[in-house]
Each structure stands twice: as C-alpha cells, then as structure tokens.
C-alpha cells in the first residue's frame, strides 16, 4: 500500500502545511478521499470554538473497521500480520494475527455482542489486560456501532464505578485476571466490587486468562469462550459493518480533570480515523512491512491511536506487549526488538529513564540493528534521557520523534516527521499540517517578543480545529467548553506552556499550573526537573511549590537516587550546585527529599497534586490514591517528609 498523503521532504512538509492552513477543507477532503466511505460527506468542516461545535466530513457515512480490516483483505493483504502479541512470560508462546484472522475474530465477537443485546449507540466498558482479545473486543464494538470505553486494567473499583456510571454503560467486558511482571492481577473481582454501585449493567462477558477462580453471577455474567462456541455452532457469521455517521461517537476515554470527577473525552468515527492514520503514516514515516512497537497500554489514548486504529487503518503490523520492561530482567524491550526485528520503537521517557538506571549491561548481545526510528510520548523528555536513547538504542543513527499531544487531541499535534524534518533534543519541533499553535500570555495576547534566552515563551493554545479534536466531554458539554475553550475565547487551550524558537520549533515546558513563582521569577517544573536529572546519580525527580515565608513559593524536590546515599547532606548540596549551574542560583531547591518512587498513573504521569499536598503538610487531604501505579509509595513519601 502506498500512502498518497505521506510527506517525503522538508519542502513537501512546507507545501502541505501551507495548504492545510490556507484551504483546510480541500486539503482534508483530499486526504479523506483515500479511505473507504459508504457515503461521501456533504461538507468538510463546520466549526465554532465559542460553543464549542466542531464537525468534520458532515453527513459522511463509514465504518472504521472496514478501513482497518476489510479494505486490506480486498487489497490482497489478508495474510500479512496485523497484530503481534508478546506475552508477559517470555516462555509462553507469542501470537500473530493476520488481517484475515483478526477480521474473523472481530466478526465472531461482534456476533457475540449482538447475541447479548448490544446495539448501535450502547456504551460498552472494557476492563482487560493486554491480550489480543482486547483489540478484538474494541473493534467488535466499532463494527456494530457500539461506543467503547476502555478502562486501564490497573484502576480501582471506585474508579471503574465512576466511569461505568458516567458513561451509563450497560455492558462490561473483562478478564478473570491479568499478568504483569511477577504479579497476577485480579480483574473480575474488581469489576464485581465496582458493579455493586452500577445497577444498570445487564451483561458482563469474562475472558479466561489467568484461570483465577472468580464469582459468576447468574443472569449477568457469561464466559467469553462459551459465547464464542454458541457462535461457532451456528456457523461463523460475517457481521455487516454498521453504517456510522462521521460524527457518531466512536469511543469515550476518561482522563483526569481538575475536579475529582473523571472527564469522558469523546472522539468520533470520521475525523479521529483520518487523524490517527494521517499522523501515524507521517510522524513515523511508516513503510509497508515494518514492525511498529508501541509500548503503551491500550487503556490509554496512545494505545488507541498507535497500537490499534492508526496502524491498522494504515495496513501496518503492530506489536503489543503484555508485560513490563524490567521483567524478567531490564533487557526485555531489547529482547523483543531482537526477536521480532522491530523497526519502530515508541515508548515513554519514564521507561527510558527507568532503563537508564540499569546501565548498558542489559543491552549486551541484543541485536538492535533493525531499529529505524525511536519515539517518545507522554511527557517532555529530559536531555540526558534523550541522549542515552539516541546513542545507546539508536546507535546515533536513528531519528527520535518527540511527540506532543493529549487524550483530547486524538493523536500527535507537534512532532518532527522521522527523517524528513529535523529532530532537536527535547523539542517536539514543528506542528503537523492542520495544526496552528499559538503562544499567548495570561490575558490571551499573542507573545511577540522573545525572553532573555532568545525564545518566545507562553501558554500553548491552538487556533482552529484539526480532524482529531475532541467533540465534547460525555454528558457534560459545558465542562468541555469551560476546560478547553473558555480560558482564551476563540482558542483551544492545551493547559501546557511552551517555548518557540526562530525556526518555529516548539518545546513543551510542562503544565502551566506546574509553574513555580520563586521571588518573582517564573520557573517551569519541567525545566527544573531536567536540571536536577542532569546530576549523575539522579534517576528521576518531581518538583512542586510550597508556601515560603520569604520567597512566596519555595521549591520542594522529590528525587529518586540510583547510587548509595552515604551522605544525604552532601548529595543535596551537589544536586543544588548542579541546578545552579544549569539554571541559576534562584532555582536551587529549598528542600530535597530522597524517595524510592513517585506517585504515578499507569501512563507515567506524575501526580503532582499529591506531592503538592505533602510538601504543604496537608497529609490528610491527598484524595483518592487507589488509581496510582503504586499507592503504597505515597505513605513512604508522607512518612519521610522533610
């Protein structure tokens, strides 16, 4: 398959970008024409950022699974691997699903859903481990027009209940349990606990994975395998793909908000499909036959867009991994790269920094020569991490794409295009065609003057829509308006701060609410953490502000240290000296607490809200910590607070 909209040179990028801004309707109509539609759209775009109302490919009819499966089979690619699954245990046999096999399984499970009463528009919550049946379940929902809402397999019962209730879901798909490193994680028991609060759920479909004994409630719970057998006895059907409007909801994905209530970000069938595929093909410069390995969990937007919908719609081969990068040892990623001859590795800076701490020994004897491209996602990468990744994994030959985007944006917005536009360490670089970033001050005025370092610096907004923009927050459109469109009227506010250089490259400096104001000087936490992380023994850090009698705000640093702490006082002085050298004496932390870990979500996001409370001494007001990757770390940090 060739990609007519794949950008091949810097000159082409500039041409595409100009056209996408000057005449977005004809630009995106041309891109969309290369997908399969049941009915062509009447109008490309209707947009009003005040309401907000954004619609793409109006009255166009399609089904995303026909673009992910059927059209590739028609094109003769049915025997090509669509999904490769690497299990948690390297001794367990891996699985490869060709496009034909995936199509068969999706149709089969789509019929299971229909048999169990699921209809177009119903919400289906999916709470599973990283097994091949997870993408099968997702695509089966999309096949029949049900709206899927994947809940990461590490969330607590209360978090699940909140999401099921908010989505008004009547159907749940889960596993008995999941494997993660040495842990066997119960999933069905957590669902049972959650659903005590959710009286509207009619059916729970349970896949066998760990063979953990579970309670099956008569009339509500059924086994996946039993339901598949019923379909097989009736002859395996081909389920007709439901005709969906381009603006029909495809999925709801919950993301944390400023309040305790989860925010259900809504993405739709047409625009999201176009954007996920377009960005996959261009940012990764995907070539047919390559193996694309995104290490994310499908429970997050990265997995939706760059394990599932983007790669499959592009006819790619996507690798999904059930386990963790440090089990059975810290060489697991490199074993996988070697085993499957991975061409593209897309992972989080958190994982890179974690693996850095193990040194180069885990790389010994691993053939990484197949890698053409490295990528990072989820947070700004620090310079030391970028350099380690580039030199040791890419052998100083592979471009690194530093992708900036959000759950709300659907897929990448700012990133270099691998090998086409230049990478720049720690910079997301240039906006993709259709994306118009704008830096504004707190009053919404565009930044037109450089700071003392020679950069334009401000709050990052986006002017005008792209096809993958969120359409609403489920059941609460006013919350969508307030969160994203009310701060700066006429603009989408990302919540991030950024720098821009004279070439138009962008560097994300972190959340705007993660800015410290120390003695009148504004210091971004990402900038400060980057400086702390440059100290030789520091693995990772997180910085928050706390009330300071003299400075207004003091700097409290939580630091993971790799070496032996023989003298904490001297080590603190060394770290402060490093920060002074990198940023200046004004940025020296007032308090440095050594910790064994940081409170993080599974996607690698540090929960600075919790750290701020600890720094302020508000130890009984931390809120719900059960959704963290390791809730116990919070108690350790509290108990050792300086």
The 3-class secondary structure across 532-569, one letter per residue, is HHCCCCEEEEEEEEEEECCCEEEEEEEEEECCCCCCHH
- SS3 of residue 594 by DSSP: strand
Return d(Cα 125, Cα 151) in angstroms, integer: 7
| Average model confidence (pLDDT) across the chain | 92
**Average pLDDT for residues 540-555, to the nearest whole number?**
80
Tell whether the model's pLDDT for residue 282 goes beyond 70. yes
Q: Which of 135-149, 318-332, 525-539, 618-632 has the lowest mean pLDDT?
A: 618-632
Number of separate domains in the chain = 2
Return d(Cα 266, Cα 284) in angstroms, integer: 25
Residue 303 domain-assigned (yes or no): no
What's the pLDDT at 256? Answer: 62
What's the pLDDT at 593? Answer: 96
Tokens for 123, please give them: 């919400």
Residue 408 domain-assigned (yes or no): no
Tell whether the model's pLDDT for residue 319 goes beyond 90. yes
What's the pLDDT at 417? Answer: 97
Residue 87 domain-assigned (yes or no): no
Percent of the chain with pLDDT over 90: 78
Beta strands 81-86 and 95-98, pairing class: antiparallel
Residue 160 domain-assigned (yes or no): yes
Tokens for 200, please give them: 């509207």
Residue 533: count other Cβ atoms within 10 Å of its Cβ. Answer: 22
Return d(Cα 429, Cα 400) in angstroms, integer: 11
**Average pLDDT for residues 59-72, to the nearest whole number?**
98
User: Tens digits of per-residue pLDDT, 172-203?
Assistant: 999 999 999 999 999 999 999 999 999 999 99
User: Tens digits of per-residue pLDDT, 414-451?
Assistant: 999 999 999 999 999 999 999 999 999 988 999 999 99
Decide which of 195, 228, 245 is a domain's last residue: 245
pLDDT band for 510, please (50, 70, 90 cuts).
confident
Decide which of 185, 211, 245 is a domain's last residue: 245
- What CATH number has the domain bearing residue 564? 3.30.300.30
Residue 147 domain-assigned (yes or no): yes
The beta-strand segments (E) located in 388-488 are 400-402, 437-440, 456-462, 472-473
Residue 76 domain-assigned (yes or no): no
User: Residue 130 belongs to what domain range?
Assistant: 94-245
- What CATH number has the domain bearing residue 129? 3.40.50.980
pLDDT band for 628, please (50, 70, 90 cuts).
confident
């Amino acid at each position: 398959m060739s990609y007519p909209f794949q950008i091949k040179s810097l000159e082409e990028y500039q041409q595409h970008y100009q056209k996408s801004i000057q005449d977005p309707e004809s630009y995106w109509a041309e891109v969309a024409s290369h997908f399969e539609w049941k009915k062509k759209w009447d109008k490309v775009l209707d947009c009003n950022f005040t309401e907000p109302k954004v619609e793409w490919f109006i009255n166009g009819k399609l089904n995303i699974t026909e673009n992910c499966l059927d059209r590739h089979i028609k094109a003769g690619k049915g025997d090509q691997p669509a999904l490769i699954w690497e299990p948690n245990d390297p001794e367990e046999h891996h699985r490869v699903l060709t496009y034909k096999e995936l199509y068969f399984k999706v149709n089969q499970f789509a019929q299971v859903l229909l048999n169990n009463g699921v209809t177009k528009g119903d919400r289906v919550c999916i709470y599973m481990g990283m097994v091949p049946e997870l993408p099968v379940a997702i695509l089966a929902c999309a096949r029949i027009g049900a709206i899927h809402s994947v809940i990461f397999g590490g969330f607590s019962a209360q978090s699940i209940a909140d999401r099921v209730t908010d989505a008004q879901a009547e159907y749940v798909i889960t596993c008995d349990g999941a494997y993660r490193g040495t842990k066997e994680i119960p999933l069905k028991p957590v669902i049972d606990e959650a659903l005590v609060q959710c009286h509207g759920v009619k059916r729970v479909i349970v896949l066998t994975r760990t063979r953990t004994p579970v309670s099956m409630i008569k009339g509500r719970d059924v086994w996946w395998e039993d339901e598949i057998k019923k379909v097989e006895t009736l002859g395996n059907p081909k389920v007709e793909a439901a005709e969906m409007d381009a603006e029909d909801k495809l999925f709801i994905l919950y993301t944390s908000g400023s309040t305790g209530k989860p925010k259900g970000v809504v993405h739709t069938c047409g625009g999201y499909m176009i954007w996920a595929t377009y960005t996959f093909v261009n940012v990764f410069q995907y070539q047919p036959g390559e193996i694309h390995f995104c290490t994310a969990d499908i429970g997050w937007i990265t997995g939706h867009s760059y394990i599932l919908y983007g790669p499959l719609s592009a006819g790619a081969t996507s690798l999904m991994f059930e386990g963790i990068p440090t089990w059975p040892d810290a060489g697991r990623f490199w074993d996988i790269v070697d085993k499957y001859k991975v061409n593209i590795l897309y992972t989080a800076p958190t994982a890179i920094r974690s693996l850095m701490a193990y040194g180069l020994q885990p790389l010994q004897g691993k053939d990484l020569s197949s890698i053409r491209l490295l990528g990072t996602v989820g947070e700004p990468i620090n310079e030391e991490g970028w350099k380690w990744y580039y030199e040791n994994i890419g052998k100083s030959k592979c471009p690194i794409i530093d992708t900036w985007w959000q759950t709300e944006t659907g897929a990448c917005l700012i990133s270099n295009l691998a090998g086409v536009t230049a990478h720049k360490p720690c910079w997301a670089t240039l906006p993709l065609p259709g994306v118009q970033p704008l830096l504004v001050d707190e009053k919404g005025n565009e930044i037109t003057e450089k700071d003392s370092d020679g950069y334009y610096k401000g709050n990052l907004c986006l002017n005008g829509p792209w096809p993958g923009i969120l359409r609403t927050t489920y059941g609460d459109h006013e919350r969508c308006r307030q969160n994203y469109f009310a701060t700066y009227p006429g603009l989408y506010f990302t919540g991030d701060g950024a720098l821009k250089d004279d070439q138009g490259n962008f560097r994300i400096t972190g959340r705007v609410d993660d800015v410290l104001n120390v003695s009148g000087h504004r210091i971004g936490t990402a900038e400060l953490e980057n400086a702390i992380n440059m100290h030789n023994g520091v693995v990772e850090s997180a910085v928050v502000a706390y009330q300071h009698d003299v400075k207004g705000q003091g700097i409290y640093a939580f630091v993971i240290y790799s070496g032996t702490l023989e003298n904490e006082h001297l080590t603190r002085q060394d770290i402060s000296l490093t920060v002074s050298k990198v940023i200046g004496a004004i940025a020296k932390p007032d308090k440095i607490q050594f910790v064994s870990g940081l409170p993080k979500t599974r996607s690698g996001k540090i929960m600075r809200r919790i750290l701020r409370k600890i720094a302020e001494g508000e130890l009984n007001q931390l809120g719900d910590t059960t959704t963290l990757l390791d809730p116990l770390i919070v108690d350790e940090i509290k108990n050792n607070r300086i």
